Amino acid sequence: MRIQTVQGDITKQTDVEAIVNAANTSLLGGGGVDGAIHRAAGPELLKECKTLHGCNTGEAKITGAYNLSCKYVIHTVGPIYHGGNHGEEELLANAYRNSMQIALEHGIRTIAFPSISTGVYSYPLEEAAEIAVKTVKAFYMEHQEGFDYVRFVLFDDRTREAYDDAIMKLSNM
């Protein structure tokens, strides 16, 4: 299985065709990963995002990447965590699954994900990492011929460790 983790800045990935943006429902930029992607891509990204009329939680949409090194940005909206009893797990899994589906439909063979919903949306990191890895692995295994690799680009040591632990845990099952 070609699922990787690296620590770093997702906007600096030079060897993937698409990066995934942990966006808000407006798709018009924000803080964290979303703001960094919009700043790095330039104003053309915002202009294209305005034509998409937002995105519902758990869904995904695709745009060009403009000043980024990749070809595409896949925008997905993860859930805001409200204790875990409001469908958050399913919505988070859908954000990853729908991003993978868009990549598959567009012939994108290499994709990089951030840790969706674990910043200002307050999803517990270890739980989110397990959902992300489990969902991406399942989709990857169903469509191996469609992907060369999937990479999680994680901002700090703690986040990378949580994703590495989730990968290890899943590989031992």
Q: What is the set of active-site residues?
A: 34
Tokens at residue 55, please?
């995105």
142 burial type by CB count under 10 A (0-12 exposed, 13-18 middle, 19+ buried): exposed
CB < 8 Å & 24+ apart, contacts of 29-36: 31/119, 31/120, 32/119, 32/120, 33/114, 33/119, 33/155, 36/9, 36/10, 36/11
CB 104 within 8 A of CB 62: no
Amino acid at 119: G
